[in-house]
Amino acid sequence: MNIEVIDYDSCSAAGNNLAELRQSLTRYKSGLIRNCLPGSDIDTWIGKVSAADDINDLGEWQSRNNALAALGYEQGTLRNTTSALMAKYGAARIGLIMGSSTSSIDRTETAYTDLAEDGGLKPDFRQSRVHNPHAPSLFMAHLTGIKGPSLTINTACSSSAKVFVTAARWLEYGVVDAVLVGGVDTLCLSVLHGFNSLQLLSPNPCKPFDHFRDGINLGEASGFAVLQRGQESTNGTGIKLTGYGESSDAHHMSHPHPDGLGARKSMTQALTRGALEPDAIDYINLHGTSSRANDLIEGSLIADLFPKTTRSSSTKAWMGHTLGAAGITEAIITLDTLQTDLIPGSMNLDTLDEALDFTIDADNQHKRCEHVMTNSFGFGGNNCTLLFSREA
């Protein structure tokens, strides 16, 4: 594979942009706060992006999800990079792939709690392109001017990891000359109360892989990256997508396969595609939700597949589990270690689950990494693993 990541940025409770995210990671500062969503009395912690509250000028595209996507796209140099590629190749030769698990359900939720007197939708809420699973890509095509093929992937929590995989295929087969990939998901009552009904939410800040972990915290985020064939890149980051793995074990709607068969397959596929042995991986950003089952299964797989020299951590205690945006948020954290030499720790990890035996650090580590991996495992057994490397 010769796919280069030429630009990227992230927006979450840990920071509105990559520079702020780096500061939060360096200072070991979480963005989680006590649940403050209007209409919700659930005792839990959330990762809320307050800056999205102020974006109310999207007209027919208005939704919190689209507002957060717009906010994320304005960070760093993403707009300039995308515009330059459209000027070079033409808007029809740029692809767009978004990942989301809820799209703009926040807007639909509001619409049905504020109906007109006749029981129908009020004019402001008659938004067929917003009440739509494809809404993230429809909106981003409108916002960016991209005219090439567009796709919205919804495979739950692996959604915006899989955007990298589809982008790589499009580039390898010459479908497009560059791809803007992204992910966005936002908090709303449907999401928060839905996870509460599954008895997955913690009343405490989450503690991935800790013996005393008691559930997850939800968050919201948007993130974007621009991918291009390496030989055509002139302003890249020096980071390439080395390999990827995908699987779907379809064991259960919300519970992972007890032996982690699909998760194992996605990791081994990524290593094979990247022509790398397990001991070549310097750091793994774990899916690490802080649920009892997910952490135990993933941690056992890491212990089985990788040597003790491989560092690993979960970063969800910084911004929460951002669902359909988790894949790209954690991909950006992972690949950015190749720029900063900072391996983030597993915040709130005090006592490793006694059933696990692998190298996971509570504190940040400084190390020059060559090859890094990130896991994203979603409901329904949808799994994705990405490998990033420094260019030789």
Instruction: Report the 10 Å Cβ neighbour count for 355.
Output: 11
356 CB-contact burial (10 Å; exposed 0-12 / middle 13-18 / buried 19+): middle
Distances (CA, A) of 227 to 40, 66, 182, 191: 39, 22, 11, 31
Nearest CA-CA partner of 94 in 195, 167, 42 = 167
Output b/e per residue, 119-147; b: 16+ Cβ within 10 A.
eebeeebebeebbbebbbbbbbbebbebe
Selected catalytic residue, list 11, 188, 206, 287: 287
Which phi and psi angles does 186 have, rounded to 5°?
-130, 160
Find the catalytic residue in 257, 321, 369, 371. Answer: 321
Return d(Cα 276, Cα 269) in angstroms, integer: 10
142 included as an active-site residue: no
- Beta sheet of 311-313, edge-to-edge order: 150-153, 94-99, 178-185, 221-229, 3-12, 239-248, 382-390, 371-378, 283-285, 311-313
Are the C-beta atoms of 11 and 221 separated by less than 8 Å?
yes
Calpha distance 236→229 (Å, rounded): 10
Specify whether 369 is catalytic: no
Q: Has 206 been annotated as catalytic?
A: no
Which amino acids are annotated catalytic?
157, 287, 321
